[in-house]
Amino acid sequence: MSKVASQHFGEIELNHGRDHNFAAKHELAGQPLELDLSVNAHDHFDEAAMHKVDYRLRFLPELVDQVREMIAEELEQEGTSPQEYLRFHCNAIKPEHLKQVFGVTDKAQLTNQVFLKALKLGHVGIFPGQPERYFVLDFTLGSHFTDEILVASADEDGVVDDEILWES
């Protein structure tokens, strides 16, 4: 069994032939973030693949900015997941959640910009064996408020998929 050091996940044992899930805590723009690395038994995961994960994570801030821009654009379009997510979570919001989640006291102040500021990246799944869904990014308004998330994915080159999904 060989081991490789990861900047984000510590020392990883490269034990081929079994499923592996590695979790790490990370901080991005002052916010806590969970990272999960999922390697399937049939994936070719070696030292080079681990280094690629660490390398790609260096560009996570840019990836998050791209997704936020996409969400902002989709908030302006009818029937998109981000717009429906916003409507659902803001339709019958209680006053205490309005202040706690969005930082405003009046529902009229709940603009797309306020929503975007409240939407946080809480989790990143990394799937090195799935080049088209290498990164899966979960955005939330906070687990204390909802278990619903907006999900975006990017390929192994950091190209964001053009579809943002609403999942629970």
pLDDT 10s digits, 129-159: 999 999 999 999 988 888 999 999 999 999 9
Residue 91 has pLDDT above 80, yes or no: yes
Task: Summarize the confidence of residues 40-44 as an average pLDDT.
Answer: 86
pLDDT 10s digits, 9-38: 999 887 667 888 999 999 998 989 999 999
pLDDT at 49: 92
The Cα angle at residue 113 between residues 109 and 71, in degrees rounded to 5: 135
Residue 1 has pLDDT above 80, yes or no: no
**Domain locations along the chain:** 2-167
Residue 103 has pLDDT above 80, yes or no: yes
Q: Are 135 and 153 in contact (CB under 8 A)?
A: yes
This prediction has a pTM of 0.92
